[in-house]
Amino acid sequence: MAEKSNVLQNTAPYSGEIKNLILSNGFYILCIAVIIIFTCLNSAFFTLTNLYNILISASFMIATTAGVAVVIIAGNMDLSVGSTALLSAGVMYSVSTLGLPDIVALIAGLLAGIIIGLINGLLVSKLKFNAMVLTLGLQLGYRGIGLILIGGTQVSLPESFKNFGKIRIFGGLNLVVVICLIIMALLYIIMRRTRFGTYCYAIGCNETAAKRVGIPIDAVKTATFVISGFCAAVAGFVVVSRLGLAHSYIGKGMEFSAIEAAVIGGISLRGGKGNLLPGALFGVLLIYIINNGLSIIGASEYVYPFAQGIIVFAAMYLDALKNFKNK
């Protein structure tokens, strides 16, 4: 037997721990490379102020991606998060016009997100809708309701929303950014440390096996959509609080950015694999680092999608290489 295994090792030409290391951390190496390149091009890039800028612009996507990542890990897909963000912003606006305390408007907005998640989740788990098709269809309706509630291209919310967005802690970091990061961290802990999280990974990995061992599949799936809806509502609030305005463009394309960020952060679209931290977080950050860097070096706005595309492709290629080798 010993002889045999020697033969085997000789016939397999794969060696080199370094290659392995590079492949398995390829995404982070890519992130660092991008940061170094932008820093070399313009020293203003690598400063604390600019880091805060990146975080502020990325904040709502951090919350959204966290929620979408949970759904993806459990083996589903949520394409309605952008519309949910718009709808919850709409609810916040219309409740605030009723003369109730502003906190009620906020809670109503978040509740709207949860209800949408519940609808999506129940339809997917109980009526066995295909999650992608269902949320792609329903998001039109959600967006429609949001647009009706806003009733114009742009409406103002009470001052307190804008003031909340201005609260800064830790020497200049916005409170909303911290909230988004906390949501991401909390969901990471839930996914990796609780029974619910383990069930999510198990269902995403192998639903047949999950059924066999008696995991409450329907309840877990529904819960993931509720989480995603809530996170999208938070994202809606973050956008609104930054400007003090609700406008009809909130959430446009957000769902695809979130999936993109999750995937380049190493979360498998097949489910059951990947981490919220650091994976998904850096996935979001990479996209905003590229945008921010390009604007700092004064690149034309039309270059942004192209540069983004290249980087996203590179990240996915590295991931594919890794998987290919593992096979």
Partner 1 sequence: MLTMSSISKKFQGVRALDNVTMAAKEGRVLGLVGINGAGKSTLMNILGGVFKQDNGKIILNNKELTFNSPIDAYNEGIAFIHQEPQFFLTLTVAENIFISDLYMSKFPIVTDKKKMMQEASKYLAVLSADIKPQQLLEDIAIGQRQVIEIVRALTSGANVIIFDEPTSSLSLNEKDNLFRTIRKLKKEEKIIIYISHFLDEIIDICDDYLVLRDGKMVQSGLIKDTDKSDLSRMIIGQEIDRLERASINTDNKETILKVENVYHSNLLHGVDLELKKSEVLGIWGLMGSGRTELVRAILGLDRVPGGKCYMNENGQMKEIKKAELLRSVGYVTEGRHFDGLFLSMPVWKNVTSANMNAYKSKKLKFMDNKKERSKTEKFIELLNIKVPDANVRLANLSGGNQQKVIFAKWIDKGADIFILDEPTRGVDVGAKLGIHKIIRNLASQGIGVLLITSEIDEMVDLADRVLILCNGEIVSELSGNDINNANLMHFALEGVKE
Positions that interact with partner 1 (CB under 8 A): 4-5, 7-8, 11-12, 193-196, 198, 201-202, 204-206, 208-215, 272-273, 327
Distance CA 174, CA 159 (A): 17
Residue 165 vs 204, nearer CB to partner 1: 204
CB of 87 to partner 1, least distance (A): 30
CB of 131 to partner 1, least distance (A): 19
Residue 79 vs 187, nearer CB to partner 1: 187
CB of 243 to partner 1, least distance (A): 37
CB of 212 to partner 1, least distance (A): 5
Helix axes 102-126, 81-96, angle to 10 degrees: 150
Residue 68 vs 215, nearer CB to partner 1: 215
Residue 171 vs 214, nearer CB to partner 1: 214
CB of 115 to partner 1, least distance (A): 23
CA 63: distance to chain centroid? 6
DSSP per-residue letters across 211-240:
HHTT--HHHHHHHHHHHHHHHHHHHHHHHH
Distance CA 61, CA 75 (A): 21
Distance CA 300, CA 304 (A): 7
Q: For residue 49, count CB atoms less than 10 angstroms from its CB and return exposed for 0-12, middle for 13-18, buried for 19 or more.
A: exposed
CB of 197 to partner 1, least distance (A): 8
Residue 102 vs 207, nearer CB to partner 1: 207
Q: Are strands 154-156 and 245-247 parallel, antiparallel or unpaired?
A: antiparallel
Residue 177 vs 215, nearer CB to partner 1: 215
CB of 198 to partner 1, least distance (A): 6
Residue 127 vs 213, nearer CB to partner 1: 213
100 contacts 293 by C-beta, under 8 angstroms:
no
126 contacts 218 by C-beta, under 8 angstroms:
yes
Q: Which of 315, 256, 243, 305 shows the shortest CA–CA distance to 283?
A: 315
At 286, the amino acid letter reads L
Distance CA 244, CA 246 (A): 7
Distance CA 65, CA 256 (A): 10
276 contacts 184 by C-beta, under 8 angstroms:
yes
Residue 8 vs 98, nearer CB to partner 1: 8
CB of 13 to partner 1, least distance (A): 8
